[in-house]
Structure 1
Amino acid sequence: MSAPDHAPRTCDEALRRAFGFLGKRWNGILIATLMNGPAGLAELRCAVGGTSDSVLSGRLSELTEANLVERLVDPGPPVSVSYELTESGRALMPALTALTAWAWENLPPSASAD
């Protein structure tokens, strides 16, 4: 008796890209933090914790290049910079909210990937 033919399992390429980008350390957390409204670098650093300014700045640049976050400059004085979600970034809110609820219900606190 021969084994039944099975199509190879594949992952949708768009989903692979989404998890690759959002799963990159700090990207998803920054987007989720900005769901509460615009924030400056110091506020984001406190909110996410455990990262350097250079890493944080690099991630915010990546999110800006991906059109998920917008960098806002207030010429002041004093000059201030803040970040907020774009329309594309806000479109992630339902998915991140659902993922957060799922994690609270299904993942123990020790399941952190840190």
Structure 2
Amino acid sequence: MADAEAEIHACDAAVTLAFSVLGKRWNGMIVSSLGGGPSTFVALRRAVAGISDTVLSDRLAELAQAGLVARTVDAGPPVTVSYTLTASGQGLLPILDQLGAWASVNLERHSG
């Protein structure tokens, strides 16, 4: 029984870690938006309607620190900054698609 409890604890810890990043408002939408390829800050702000510049900047930094997003600076001129998903970030795309499909079936009927 101790092995089963250890497995449950390890799963709980992994899920908790995943949601500590993905559970923050906007992060899933940012990752999904970057699934279409590299994007600039301005394009991301347009794609994630309602997010402020400050929050977008903070979320991009958090996602980069988590290893999901890479930030690239092109010295230009003009200087441009683009954001892309890392391999780890790309790995989330099918999971986010599955989560969205699950939510549309299981949560739609319970909202409002």
Secondary structure of the equivalent of 2:101? helix
Residue 63 of structure 1 pairs with residue 51 of structure 2: no
**Partner residue in 1 for 2:107:** 107
Query: Gapped runs of 5+ residues in structure 1?
Result: 1-6
The within-5 A match list for 1:52-91 is: 52-91=52-91
Residue type matched to 1:65 in 2?
Answer: Q
* Offset from partner CA, 1:26-53 (integer Å, 9 cap, x none): 1111111111111111110111111211
Residue type matched to 1:22 in 2?
Answer: L
Assess if the C-alpha contact under 8 Å between 2:67 and 2:89 holds in 1. yes
* TM-aligned CA deviation for residue 111 of structure 1: 3.8
Percentage of identical aligned residues: 52
* TM-aligned CA deviation for residue 72 of structure 1: 0.9
* Offset from partner CA, 1:7-41 (integer Å, 9 cap, x none): 8x976110111112101011111111111111111
Residue type matched to 1:83 in 2?
Answer: Y
TM-score, normalised to structure 1's length? 0.81
Query: Gapped runs of 5+ residues in structure 2?
Result: none
Residue 18 of structure 1 pairs with residue 15 of structure 2: no
Flag the structure with larger Rg. Answer: 1
Give the Cα–Cα distance (whole angstroms) in 2 for the partners of residues 96 and 58 of structure 1.
Answer: 21
Residue type matched to 1:107 in 2?
Answer: L
* TM-aligned CA deviation for residue 109 of structure 1: 8.7
Name the structure where helix makes up a greater proportion of residues.
2
TM-score, normalised to structure 2's length? 0.82
* TM-aligned CA deviation for residue 110 of structure 1: 8.5
Assess if the C-alpha contact under 8 Å between 2:21 and 2:63 holds in 1. no
Residue type matched to 2:97 in 1?
Answer: T
Q: 1:110–1:83: structure 2 CA closer, same or farther, 3 Å change rule? A: farther
Residue type matched to 1:91 in 2?
Answer: G
